[in-house]
Amino acid sequence: MTTEPTTFRTDQPLAWMYHRGSTRSAFDTADAPVQRPGPGREDPKAPWFPLPPGVPVGASLADLVRERVSCRAFRDQPISLAELATLLRAGYGITGVTDGGPLQIADRPVPSAGGLYPLEVSVLVRSVAGLPAGIYHYVPFADGLEQVHEEAVPPPLVSSLFLGQPWAGEANVVLLLSAVCERSLSRYGDRGYRYLLLEAGHVAQNMVLAATGLRLGAVNLGGFLDDELSALLRVDTDEEIVLYGTAVGRPVPGNRLTQRAIDRL
């Protein structure tokens, strides 16, 4: 008896359908319409928390890449608001302004297809000195946080939202990346969905490397309950989708193996 060889197409038809549906060929290269970056998701009525100056990260890129490790064991000790500010600015902040005469361009720490920057950053705060526990939305151009929910999210609930990963609830903060799809897909069509994922990866890596430079532990979170997490963040899933998370906290003392806590997987 012989069996048919398995393929990407036959084993994962939905993933294959998306991939093929968003491919481009020599016969499908229509010019994309010019699209200006859309406004961010801000609420002018929300309580406002300006961010303080950050903490310098003096390590070299080579050192940060070498020292990065997925940390799943955190101490119950607050991080500072300055450290959180450093993480947010490294991930999706404004690094400067390029003056092009009549046009001024905001410089950002990551590339974005068409310069559209469709992502939003939310923060689940459990333990940050100088910042009440709760849920916040980062506003890069104003360099601050607006409060979305003023009460702490119970750690067991956070862990359950991330499919039972206990370190998500034990971290000081969970940084969440979501995408306002229309900002990218209105220009690039279904191909723009790929660009959302790529951009989220750029941002998360910057945050993880910044955390490494601050001697903080970090682990990326790709598994979560989409609708429940979106509801907690007060995100309209018809327009904005949660893509990725990064849990950050003070690591337990020990070597890389201790911090990885592989026995908890």
CB neighbour list of residue 257: distance below 8 Å, 6 or more residues apart: none
User: With contact defined as beta carbons under 8 Å apart, do 178 and 243 qualify?
Assistant: yes
- Taking residues 189-217, report their average pLDDT: 97
- Among 18-32, 157-171, 195-209, where is mean pLDDT lowest? 18-32
Residue 37's pLDDT band, with cuts at 50, 70 and 90, is low
Structure confidence at residue 27 (pLDDT): 62
**Domain range spanning residue 167?**
54-264
- Residue 94: the pLDDT is 96
247 assigned to some structural domain: yes
| Domain-embedded: residue 258 | yes
When comparing pLDDT for 37 and 75, which is higher?
A: 75
Joined together, the tokens standing for residue 250 give 């003070």
Q: Is residue 15 part of a domain?
A: no
Tell whether 33 is covered by a domain: no
- Does residue 92 belong to any structural domain of this protein? yes
d(CA 194, CA 241): 13
Looking at residues 100-126, what average pLDDT do you find? 93
The CATH number of the domain holding residue 107 is 3.40.109.10
Q: Are 243 and 222 in contact (CB under 8 A)?
A: no
Kindly state whether residue 46 falls inside one of the protein's structural domains.
no
Q: How many domains does the chain have?
A: 1
